[in-house]
Structure 1
Amino acid sequence: MLKKMRNNKLKIVLVLFLVLLLAIVRAYEDELFYDPFLSYYRGDYLSLPFPEFDGFQLFLGLTFRYFLNTIISLGIIQILFSDLKGTKFAAILYFLLYWILIGALFLVLHFFDKGNNFILFYIRRFLIQPLFLLLFVPAFFYQKQNK
């Protein structure tokens, strides 16, 4: 095990660097992205109406953040598994999931009442956090083990 780690020092350092980048994106989310729901969900959101928001700016902010997280996550997947075909597959999944989630988010915002705070919360969570990375890494690992 230690011998393998020594042989893969560069991979380990690169993955740790990319994870650090994900943490920086999270740490500076208020400064980097337009998202009035960040402060909304920090408060007592169950009793509050949705905050005022600019739909176009929200779309751009969420898109920028999602694709920033996606690029970093795809880098981690490529470094861990060294499988370009698998990384391309993950990129396609990220792209398709983005359109499903962004569509669902705006449907909830415009056509549902405030009682759907949790639905909006979880859709946003998948858009703004690299949660798919947490799903894809074990899946790719399992796939690699069973080849």
Structure 2
Amino acid sequence: MLLHKLRIVLGLVFVVLLAVVRAYEYQLFYDPFLNYFKSDFNTLPLPSFDSFQLTMGLLFRYGLNTALSLGLIYVLFKDSGMIKFASMLYAFFFLVLVSLFYIIIYFYGAHNNLMLFYVRRFLIQPIFVILFIPAFYYQKLSR
């Protein structure tokens, strides 16, 4: 019984830490698109940005969200095989999403803001953990 309580507490700690990353996003990460997408971005030009700093900021945030998400998945399933698989998926999706992010910025500019908004959303928010947990749970049930 104590083990289940510990797992619940650890799971809640990881969820709270994911919320803390979101709450302190302005202090922790370089991202000129934070304010841009909070305004009426459909009528505004893209903000100026430093590509290297932006990439490092996105990598840091994605990496932090990934580490916390993998911790949550491990607490829930206690399966290192799932963690390895999820890690590979996270790495693959980061490469694809960052590539798409810069392709949209440099080839479409401010003409495709909605696509840029959603690609960026997958980079900065822990959306994959919301998809992976039910998928891994279903996989575990079907074994």
What's the counterpart of residue 118 of structure 1? Answer: 114
TM-score (norm 2): 0.97
How many residue pairs get matched?
143
C-alpha deviation, 1:111, in angstroms: 1.0
Quote the residue 1:29 is aligned against.
25
Picking from 40, 45, 48, the partner of 1:44 is 40
Q: Aligned residues: percent identity?
A: 52
Separation in structure 2 between the aligned mates of residue 142 and residue 27 of structure 1, nearest angstrom: 31
| Structure 2 gaps, min length 5 | none
* TM-score between both structures, scaled by the size of structure 1: 0.95
Map 1:28-107; keep pairs closer than 5 Å.
28-107=24-103
Q: Encode CA deviations 1:65-117: one digit per residue, 9 max, x unaligned.
A: 00000000000001100110011000000000000000110111111131200
The runs of 5 or more residues in structure 1 that have no matched partner are: none
Which of 7, 11, 20 aligns to 1:11? It is: 7
Q: Write out per-residue CA displacement over residues 39-72 of structure 1, whole angstroms, 9 at most, x where no aligned residue.
A: 0000111100100111110000000000000000
Q: Distance in 1 between matches of 2:74 and 2:109?
A: 41
4+ aligned runs moved over 6 Å, structure 1:
none
CA distance in 1, matches of 2:3, 2:19: 26
What CA distance in whole angstroms lies between the structure 1 residues aligned with 2:109 and 2:76? Answer: 43
Q: Pairwise CA RMSD of aligned residues?
A: 1.0
**What's the offset of the Cα at 1:7?**
4.7
